[in-house]
């Protein structure tokens, strides 16, 4: 009994075939002596029983073989079944292959379609540039705008901004706006050169108003540098008009502000300034420009001509945000200035409307001999009257330019 328990403990977790070993179990139940005794006493009469046992064994063996054969058959059918499964797999694979071919074909078609779309886009951009006399240089320059509505559909511009444009009477973008706005909106730095009065101010203000958040209290987000106080004041006015409807903090750097403002507590999103005033505020009043996202040098030719190179350099350094977008807007772009600017700009796009450094082609020029001093005034009046009666004279681009000689 003890042994049975022990073996039970030893084989715990394994299956012990009690049926098969029932005779042995019975013998062990009677104790070892009984077992030997049994064996000894049973010896003479064991012959017939062993014969029986042998027969039983061979019968069991035959049964086992039959079972194994049956199992063999079953596994054979498994194989067949497996084969058919395999065949199914093969069929499926053929299906998948054709599906793959189909997908590859579709992908090829998609690639072709995309390539064609890109080609059409390039062609459309080239036609627009030709039509508006826009010349560009740089890699992957965004396509020019066809109209202001595109700013909403393609650049997710807030509709209030486009609404303000139409309230200001701006129906169509000017050539510089067509190319410079998408360039800046795509995060590219740019040199923009277009004639006087061609709408450059809007070209740099619009992307700034679109991209920065109004009313942020964590520092200046855009800096616009102008060569003169008058131009700075005019740009501030334009900016406020365009931003109407949103609470942007737009500040003009006046003398007072630059010398006595507490810039740490001042809320300012867009700061318009002349170089000296801004540099003074940075150096002497701790104006922090490290969060500036847009830096515009307006009328950059004049900025550099007026000898502000070092001051501008110091301001550029103060605008230390690594993801800053810098741009230069100017009526002329002398090579020396472009070379200087290229040292601080990354992957900049150059946009030129008309011929570089030339007078605007849309401005009519006339040479009139007025005779006397009085005659100058008469000729000037006549000229304005002509513009007034000219059907295209309402365009802001058509400005009479007269050289009067007496």
Ligand X SMILES: Nc1ncnc2c1ncn2[C@@H]1O[C@H](COP(=O)(O)OP(=O)(O)OP(=O)(O)O)[C@@H](O)[C@H]1O
Interface with ligand X (CB under 6 A)? 170, 173-174, 177, 194, 196-202, 331, 396
Output 197 or 375, the one with its CB closest to ligand X.
Answer: 197
Min. distance of Cβ 170 from ligand X in angstroms?
A: 4
Min. distance of Cβ 399 from ligand X in angstroms?
A: 10
Min. distance of Cβ 336 from ligand X in angstroms?
A: 20
Output 145 or 312, the one with its CB closest to ligand X.
Answer: 145
Output 229 or 376, the one with its CB closest to ligand X.
Answer: 229
Min. distance of Cβ 268 from ligand X in angstroms?
A: 22
Output 205 or 315, the one with its CB closest to ligand X.
Answer: 205
Output 219 or 235, the one with its CB closest to ligand X.
Answer: 235
Min. distance of Cβ 154 from ligand X in angstroms?
A: 18
Min. distance of Cβ 140 from ligand X in angstroms?
A: 25
Min. distance of Cβ 231 from ligand X in angstroms?
A: 7
Quick check: 322 and 352 in contact, CB under 8 A?
A: no
Output 162 or 202, the one with its CB closest to ligand X.
Answer: 202
Output 170 or 249, the one with its CB closest to ligand X.
Answer: 170
């Amino acid at each position: 009994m003890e042994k049975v328990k022990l073996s039970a403990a030893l084989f715990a977790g394994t299956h012990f075939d009690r049926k098969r070993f029932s005779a042995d179990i019975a013998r062990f139940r009677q104790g070892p002596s009984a077992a030997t005794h049994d064996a000894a006493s049973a010896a003479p009469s064991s012959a017939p029983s062993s014969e029986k046992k042998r027969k039983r064994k061979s019968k069991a063996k035959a049964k086992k073989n039959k079972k194994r054969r049956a199992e063999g058959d079953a596994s054979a059918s498994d194989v067949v079944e497996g084969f058919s499964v395999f065949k199914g797999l093969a069929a499926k694979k053929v299906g998948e292959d054709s599906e793959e071919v189909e997908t590859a074909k579709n992908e090829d078609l998609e690639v072709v379609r995309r390539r064609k779309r890109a080609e059409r886009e390039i062609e459309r951009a080239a036609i627009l540039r030709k039509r508006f006399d826009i010349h560009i240089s740089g890699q992957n320059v965004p396509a020019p705008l066809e109209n202001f509505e595109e700013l909403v559909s393609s650049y997710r511009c807030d509709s209030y901004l486009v609404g303000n444009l139409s309230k200001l009477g701006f129906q169509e973008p000017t050539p510089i706006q067509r190319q410079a706005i998408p360039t800046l909106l795509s995060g590219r730095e740019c040199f923009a050169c277009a004639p006087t009065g061609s709408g450059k101010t809007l070209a740099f203000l619009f992307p700034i108003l679109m991209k920065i958040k109004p009313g942020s209290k964590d520092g200046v987000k855009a800096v616009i540098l102008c060569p003169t106080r008058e131009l700075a004041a005019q740009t501030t006015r334009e900016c406020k008009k365009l931003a109407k409807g949103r609470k942007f903090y737009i500040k003009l750097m006046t003398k007072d502000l630059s010398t006595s403002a507490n810039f740490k507590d001042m809320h300012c999103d867009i700061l318009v300034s002349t170089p000296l005033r801004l540099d003074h505020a940075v150096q002497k009043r701790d104006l922090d420009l490290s969060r500036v996202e847009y830096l515009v040098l307006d009328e950059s030719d004049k900025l550099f001509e007026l000898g502000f190179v070092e001051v501008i350099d110091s301001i550029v350094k103060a605008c230390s945000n690594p993801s800053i977008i810098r741009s230069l807007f100017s009526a002329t772009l002398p090579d020396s200035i472009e070379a200087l600017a290229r040292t601080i700009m990354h992957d900049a796009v150059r946009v030129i409307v008309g011929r570089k450094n030339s007078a605007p082609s849309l401005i009519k020029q006339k040479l009139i001999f007025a005779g006397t001093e009085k005659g100058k005034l008469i000729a000037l009046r006549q000229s304005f009257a002509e513009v007034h009666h000219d059907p295209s004279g309402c365009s802001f681009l058509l400005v009479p330019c007269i050289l009067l000689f007496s």
